[in-house]
C-alpha cells in the first residue's frame, strides 16, 4: 500500500486519509475518490490529497476484516457488515463466550490486524458484541489475511457462544446439631436465584444429617426424580476426598473428578458425577449472593461445557475474586450485560403512505415488480437486515397496502395526515418505535433495488460516539436513501414539516453525517412514474 501526498492525476480510486473541505467540497477521510470527486477537487484548485493507494496483493480493510471474521465466527454469532475496517461478531443467544487462544496468535501476525474479544467464559446476552475484528490501516497484505484464515479455520469454532440449557437442579443441605434452619432457608433462596440467572431452576431441596449414608440416600432420591444436576451444601466444609460428601457420591456409584479450585472465594469445591449427572460439593461461599467461584462452575455446567480437572486448574489467573480494601466490587452476581458493548438496536421505518400522484391512477406501492408488489421489496430488504423490528407507515389506500402485506412480520402504523407529506409519515413512524431503540433506518417504499446488505452497511457505520449519527448511502458521490437517524434526533423529528423528510436534520448537523459508499446505484433509484417503472428492468 502506498500512503502519502497523492497528485490528483493518480488519485482516482485512492482512499482519503484526511478530510478535505474547500469551496463547497466536504469529503471525509475514508472516502474512496471517484473520477467525479477528482474533477471536483481539481475545480476547487486542489492539486493533491493525502491518501492511500492499494497495490497488487493488498486487501482493502473491509474485505480483510470480513474474511477474518468469517474464519473466526462460530455458533450463535452473527457478523456485522464491515465499516472502516471493522467487523463485530454479535451474540444471538444468551450463553457463555467460548474463545480459543488462537486469537493471541492472530494478533501477532501483523500490527495491521487486531482481534479483541470479551474475556473467555463471560456470560453474554443477545446483541452483545463478543469480538471485534479491526484492520488498522486502509489495507493489509493478502498473505497476512490468508495466514489468519488458515490458523483460525484449523481450530473448531475459535469464537462461539455456548447457549445456556435449562437444568433442573436438586439441592441437598446437611445438618449438624445446632445448624440453624434460617441459615438453610437463606442458602436455598440464594442458590435458587443463582440458578434462575442461568435459566435453570431448583427442582427440590432435601435436608439430612451430615453423614455418608443419609446423604447418599438423598442424592439417589434426586437422581430418581430426574434432576440434571445435584448440589450439596455441607454443614461442614469438605477437607479431603474421603470426607462425608465425596464418600456419599462414591457410595452412590459415582466418582470424584476434582477437589479444590484455584479460585478465592471457592477453594473447597468438589466436582463429581454419577453416570452423566454432575454432583457438586459446594464451597461455603455458595451461601453468599456475591459472585464467587461456584458461579464459574455453574455457568459452564448450565451451558453443557465439559469441566475437566485441567479446566478447573486453569482458573487461577483472574481467580482472586475476594473483595479487598481499595478494590472495586464489580462482581455482584448480576449479568455483565448492563455495561457491555452491544450492537446498536436499529429499527426500520418504511414509508408507504404517499398518494403516488405522478404514477397516475395506480398506487405505485402496489405495482408489480418481478411478481411482487413494489412495497414488498422494501419490507423484505428490511426483514433481511439487522434493522429490525420493522414498522410500516400507511396512509393512502391503507387497507389495500395492509392486505398486500398481511403475511409479513411488521407493525403497521396509521398516518391520517399522509397528505401533509413525507415528514408526517416519518414523525408517525419514529413515534411508534419502542423504548430501547438506538436509531431508525427510514426507508422509502418505492425503492425496490434497496437490499438488506445496503441497510446493514448503514447500521455498521452508525456510531454516535465517533460522530456518525446520521448515516447516508452514496453512489459516486451522490447521496441517496434510505437514511439512518440516531435516537438523539428523535425529538427533533417531531418538528419536521412538509414533503422533505429528514433533509432539515441533514443540513443542520453536517458534522454528524457519515456518507457510506455503496457498490451500486440502488440508493438513488426510486420509482415515481410509469416510465421509471417500465425502465426498472433495463
In a domain, 424, yes or no: yes
Which grid coordinates are listed for 464?
A: 454516535
In a domain, 315, yes or no: yes
Say yes or no: 23 and 88 in one domain.
no
pLDDT, the chain, mean:
91
Helices (H) and strands (E) in the chain, counts: 16, 30
* Residue 482: closest CA among 434, 449, 509: 449
Predicted confidence (pLDDT) per residue in 423-459, tens digit = 999 999 999 999 999 999 999 999 999 999 999 999 9
Q: Supply the angle between the helices 181-196 and 293-302 in degrees, to the nearest 10.
A: 50
Say yes or no: 196 and 144 in one domain.
no
Say yes or no: 40 and 66 in one domain.
no
Largest alpha-carbon pair distance within the chain? 94
In a domain, 264, yes or no: yes
**What is the residue whose three cell numbers read 425529538?**
491
In a domain, 175, yes or no: yes
How far is residue 130's CA from residue 135's CA, in Å, rounded to a whole number? 17
In a domain, 174, yes or no: yes
**What is the residue whose three cell numbers read 456485522?**
80
DSSP H or E segment with residue 259: strand 255-259
SS3 category, 100: coil
Mean predicted confidence (pLDDT) in 238-257: 96
Say yes or no: 82 and 146 in one domain.
yes
Say yes or no: 370 and 512 in one domain.
yes
Other Cβ atoms within 10 Å of 150 Cβ, number: 10
Cβ-based neighbours of 390, under 8 Å, separated by 6 or more: 347, 348, 350, 379, 382, 383, 409, 410, 411
How far is residue 87's CA from residue 64's CA, in Å, rounded to a whole number? 10
Say yes or no: 74 and 132 in one domain.
yes
Say yes or no: 236 and 319 in one domain.
yes
Residues of the domain holding 350:
346-534
CATH number of the domain enclosing 418: 3.90.550.10
Local confidence band at 477 (pLDDT 50, 70, 90 cut-offs) = confident
Identify the domain boundary among 34, 53, 72: 53
Say yes or no: 79 and 149 in one domain.
yes
Identify the domain boundary among 277, 304, 334: 334
How far is residue 119's CA from residue 98's CA, in Å, rounded to a whole number? 9
| pLDDT higher than threshold 70 for residue 323 | no
Say yes or no: 455 and 407 in one domain.
yes
How far is residue 410's CA from residue 390's CA, in Å, rounded to a whole number? 5
Across 256-260, 452-456, 473-477, least confident range = 473-477
In a domain, 340, yes or no: no
Local confidence band at 271 (pLDDT 50, 70, 90 cut-offs) = very high
Say yes or no: 324 and 455 in one domain.
no
Identify the domain boundary among 334, 368, 390: 334
What percentage of the chain reaches a pLDDT higher than 70?
96
Mean predicted confidence (pLDDT) in 252-276: 96
SS3 category, 69: helix
Q: Please report the sign of the dihedral spanned by the C-alpha atoms of residue 298, residue 299, residue 304, residue 306.
A: negative
Local confidence band at 337 (pLDDT 50, 70, 90 cut-offs) = very low
Domains held by the chain: number = 4
Say yes or no: 271 and 413 in one domain.
no
CATH number of the domain enclosing 288: 3.40.980.10
CATH number of the domain enclosing 113: 3.90.1170.30
| pLDDT higher than threshold 50 for residue 334 | no
Say yes or no: 455 and 415 in one domain.
yes
CATH number of the domain enclosing 8: 3.90.105.10
In a domain, 276, yes or no: yes
Which grid coordinates are listed for 221?
A: 432420591
Predicted confidence (pLDDT) per residue in 301-316, tens digit = 999 999 999 999 999 9
In a domain, 432, yes or no: yes
Amino acid at each position: 500500500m502506498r500512503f502519502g501526498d497523492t497528485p490528483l492525476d493518480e488519485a482516482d480510486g485512492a482512499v482519503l486519509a484526511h478530510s478535505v473541505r474547500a469551496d463547497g467540497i466536504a469529503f471525509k477521510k475514508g472516502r474512496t475518490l471517484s473520477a467525479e470527486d477528482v474533477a471536483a477537487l481539481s475545480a476547487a484548485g486542489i492539486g493533491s490529497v493525502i491518501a492511500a493507494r492499494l497495490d497488487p496483493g493488498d486487501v482493502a480493510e473491509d474485505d480483510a476484516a470480513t474474511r477474518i471474521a468469517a474464519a473466526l465466527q462460530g455458533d450463535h454469532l452473527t457478523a456485522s457488515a464491515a465499516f472502516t475496517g471493522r467487523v463485530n461478531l454479535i451474540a444471538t443467544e444468551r450463553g457463555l463466550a467460548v474463545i480459543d487462544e488462537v486469537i493471541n496468535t492472530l494478533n501477532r501476525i501483523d500490527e495491521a490486524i487486531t482481534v479483541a474479544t470479551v474475556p473467555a467464559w463471560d456470560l453474554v446476552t443477545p446483541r452483545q458484541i463478543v469480538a471485534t475484528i479491526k484492520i488498522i490501516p486502509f489495507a493489509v497484505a493478502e498473505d497476512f489475511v490468508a495466514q489468519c484464515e488458515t490458523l483460525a479455520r484449523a481450530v473448531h469454532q475459535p469464537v462461539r457462544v455456548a447457549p445456556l440449557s435449562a437444568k433442573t437442579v436438586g439441592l441437598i443441605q446437611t445438618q449438624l446439631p445446632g445448624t440453624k434452619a434460617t441459615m438453610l432457608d437463606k442458602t436455598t433462596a440464594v442458590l435458587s436465584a443463582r440458578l434462575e440467572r442461568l435459566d435453570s431452576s431448583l427442582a427440590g431441596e432435601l435436608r439430612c444429617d451430615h453423614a455418608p449414608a443419609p446423604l447418599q440416600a438423598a442424592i439417589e432420591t434426586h437422581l430418581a426424580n430426574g434432576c440434571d444436576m445435584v448440589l450439596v451444601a455441607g454443614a461442614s466444609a469438605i477437607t479431603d476426598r474421603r470426607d462425608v460428601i465425596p464418600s456419599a457420591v462414591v457410595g452412590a456409584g459415582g466418582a470424584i473428578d476434582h477437589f479444590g479450585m484455584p479460585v478465592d472465594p471457592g477453594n473447597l469445591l468438589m466436582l463429581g458425577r454419577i453416570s452423566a449427572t454432575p454432583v457438586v460439593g459446594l464451597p461455603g461461599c455458595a451461601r453468599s449472593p456475591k459472585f464467587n467461584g461456584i458461579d464459574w462452575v455453574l455457568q459452564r455446567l448450565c451451558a453443557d461445557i465439559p469441566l475437566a480437572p485441567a479446566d478447573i486448574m486453569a482458573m487461577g489467573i483472574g481467580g482472586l475474586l475476594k473483595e479487598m480494601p481499595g478494590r472495586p466490587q464489580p462482581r455482584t452476581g448480576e449479568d455483565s450485560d448492563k455495561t457491555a458493548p452491544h450492537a446498536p438496536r436499529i429499527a426500520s421505518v418504511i414509508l408507504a403512505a404517499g398518494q403516488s400522484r405522478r404514477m397516475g391512477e395506480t398506487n405505485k406501492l402496489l405495482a408489480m415488480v418481478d411478481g411482487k408488489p413494489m412495497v414488498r421489496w422494501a419490507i423484505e430488504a428490511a426483514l433481511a437486515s439487522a434493522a429490525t423490528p420493522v414498522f410500516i407507515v400507511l396512509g393512502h389506500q391503507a387497507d389495500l397496502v395492509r392486505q398486500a402485506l398481511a403475511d409479513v412480520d411488521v407493525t403497521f402504523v396509521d398516518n391520517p395526515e399522509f397528505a401533509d407529506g413525507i415528514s408526517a409519515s416519518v414523525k408517525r413512524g419514529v413515534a411508534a418505535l419502542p423504548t430501547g431503540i438506538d436509531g431508525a433506518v427510514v426507508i422509502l417504499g418505492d425503492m425496490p433495488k434497496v437490499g438488506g446488505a445496503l441497510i446493514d452497511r448503514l447500521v455498521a457505520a452508525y456510531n454516535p460516539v465517533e460522530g456518525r449519527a446520521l448515516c447516508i448511502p452514496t453512489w459516486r458521490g451522490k447521496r441517496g436513501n434510505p437514511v439512518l437517524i440516531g435516537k438523539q434526533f428523535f425529538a427533533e423529528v417531531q418538528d419536521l414539516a412538509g414533503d422533505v423528510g429528514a433533509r432539515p436534520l441533514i443540513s443542520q448537523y453536517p458534522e454528524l453525517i457519515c456518507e457510506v459508499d455503496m457498490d451500486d446505484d440502488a440508493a438513488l433509484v426510486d420509482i415515481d412514474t410509469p416510465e421509471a417503472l417500465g425502465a426498472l428492468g433495463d
